[in-house]
Amino acid sequence: MKIKLQNLGFWYREGEPIFTKLDLELPLPAWIAISGESGVGKTTLVKLLAGLLEPCHGTIIYPPNFNGHKHLPIGFLYQNPDNQLVQLNVERELAFVLENAGVPFAAMHARVEQALDDWGLRARRQASPQMLSGGEKQRLALASLLIDTPSLLILDEPTSGLDILRRQDFYQYIRELYQQGIGIIWVTQDEDELQMAEQVLVIRNNSEVVWL
């Protein structure tokens, strides 16, 4: 399977394009790192892939019936988990995406209960996400994405605010998800994280993309 970008163009302001005629194929499932200097469009590219931004021209073609899902099965983990944790408590945060997907209550309840156990958050189920520790916020953000079983997980420099121990825990989570068949696209400039990837895509200052 592949995601294909054809003649893709995007800009935030007219006359200042981030991408003009981008053609790119991304294999799935795979572990792909995206790197490049600050400001070259790394976050823009992954937001386009996740459907968080719409191309100004061109198309993004996803595999037919992407892993049996009716909606786009992509989870997007922001650099700062505070930017995606929006509900009143941990339990509601986990249920939010399932409610939007129309999952029946009984099934939703079972999946929330399982996620609380899987991610060590049961004791914090009624806590506000803003009152969690940094590591707990990261686990909750991941759990809230994975509860809807995405086929692809996009990570936008998610370890930049973590200490070394929390980074190692996070790396282990991602390795296990990849072993389960979830594709990984990881925006990073960290050398250790680049070496974890199967393939590295570099975006250059002229918006040219190059596979290493």
The DSSP code for 87 is: S
Q: Which domains does the chain have, with CATH numbers?
A: 2-211 (3.40.50.300)
pLDDT, tens digit only, all 212 positions of the chain: 889 999 999 999 988 899 999 999 999 889 999 999 988 999 999 999 999 999 999 999 988 766 544 456 899 998 888 888 999 999 999 999 899 888 999 999 999 999 999 899 999 999 999 999 888 898 899 999 989 888 899 999 988 877 888 888 889 989 999 999 999 999 999 999 999 999 999 999 878 899 98
Beta bridge partner(s), residue 186: 33, 155
Determine the pLDDT at residue 68: 47
Active site residue 99: no
pTM over 0.85: yes
Cβ-contact 152, 185 below 8 angstroms: yes
| Residue in 91, 136, 157, 193 annotated catalytic | 157
C-alpha dihedral, 5 to 9 to 13 to 16, nearest 10°: 120
Burial 129-139 (b: 16+ CB within 10 A, else e): beebeebbbbb
